[in-house]
Amino acid sequence: MKPKVAIAATALLLISAGGFLWLARDTAPESSSVAKQQMSLSPEQTAAVVADAIAKSKTDTRFKTGVENMPRSLQDTEVDGALSVDNAGNLIISRSIRQTFDYFLSAIGEEDLTTIVSRIRAYIRNKLADYPKAMAQAEQILDGYLSYREALGHIAQIGGNPADNISGVRQQKEQIASLRTQYLSREVIEAFFGDEDAYDRYTMARIEIMQDKNLSATEKAKRAAELLNTLPPELKESVETLNKYQELTSLTDDWKARGGKPEELRAIREQLVGVEATERLEALDQERAAWDGRMNDYLSQRDTILKNQALSQQDRERQVNDLKQKNFNQQERIRVDALETMHDQGIKP
């Protein structure tokens, strides 16, 4: 299992119910009963389970490296993340620490929590055996992270579509931010969740822009483009292409529905994808318009031929085929055949 660049819109995906069950995944038939049993626990019982797992893992001697006899879903994979140390022997705080924790915790449902936490602790102690300060720091962060993720499940979820309740989502995010400070240092919070928080802020602001009825399509495109530039470079690169396509599609559909002017569409495109891409899109529009014109003329003439009762069925088919051969090349005729079928069924392409 290789490290992944996570873009988790936690605010909009909301919090998984059931306390620590944010990690649960039923990857094997035999794990189903374990997961179901965990889901039946009350918040108090879930907190007790996590606290007990943390305590027992500190004296558990089953593992030397943490990767012995790995659960099925983690077999033949590499541990995600990394535990790095600076020149003074201190743990380097980074998101890769969380990736390491989450790698092992992903096996919840296959193994009980105490076993998994014991694995993580053994892995830490093995990797940082020569750096006692870093080892202690990593274990402290692990304990806080586990407690935080358990407490996270106690925050009330938001019903309905989160995009329709941005104020509620913001309030929930404030609760989550406050909760993190109870268990983790500011440095750890920024390293573990900084990218997620930046993406959440961006996503909520983008939804507000697209929902603002006081803004024109051009203004929405401009503000969306400006907002994208507020993201950290790696995040910006990850979301830019997808978001631009979504925004361009949405704003173009809105432009068509309103019967907007060509110069407005050009302004929208230039704001979102730049001048060169806009020129390519306009060239594509011209190609599509030319094709649509040819296709509509052909279908009109075809309909006239097919409705001509003075001709035999064989003659009608021959004339339609001659018309198709005359107006389209071999490659185009494949597409024409499909569009003919749609036309005859009353389906608009």
Comparing CA positions, the residue from 337, 339, 338 lying closest to residue 321 is: 337
Asked whether residue 205 is assigned to any structural domain, the reply reads no
**pLDDT for 156-197, tens place per residue?**
887 777 777 888 888 899 999 999 999 999 999 999 999 889
Asked whether residue 62 is assigned to any structural domain, the reply reads yes
Name the DSSP letter for residue 261. -
Residue 111 φ/ψ, nearest 5 degrees: -130, 155
Asked whether residue 41 is assigned to any structural domain, the reply reads yes
Q: Residue 112 in 3-state DSSP?
A: coil
pLDDT the model gives residue 93: 98
First to last CA, the chain: 43
Asked whether residue 38 is assigned to any structural domain, the reply reads yes
What domain count does the chain have? Answer: 1
Asked whether residue 287 is assigned to any structural domain, the reply reads no
**pLDDT for 117-156, tens place per residue?**
999 999 999 999 999 999 999 999 999 999 999 998 888 8
Angle, nearest 10°, between helix axes 330-344 and 313-327?
130
pLDDT the model gives residue 4: 37
Asked whether residue 100 is assigned to any structural domain, the reply reads yes
d(CA 81, CA 37): 30
Asked whether residue 191 is assigned to any structural domain, the reply reads yes
Asked whether residue 200 is assigned to any structural domain, the reply reads no
Please give the residue range of the domain that contains residue 49: 10-195
Above 90 in pLDDT, residue 54? yes
Residue 193 φ/ψ, nearest 5 degrees: -125, 0
Q: Cα dist. 320→177, 339, 345, 348 in Å?
A: 68, 14, 18, 21
* pTM for the full predicted model: 0.63
**pLDDT for 62-119, tens place per residue?**
999 999 999 999 999 999 999 999 999 999 999 999 999 999 999 988 999 999 999 9
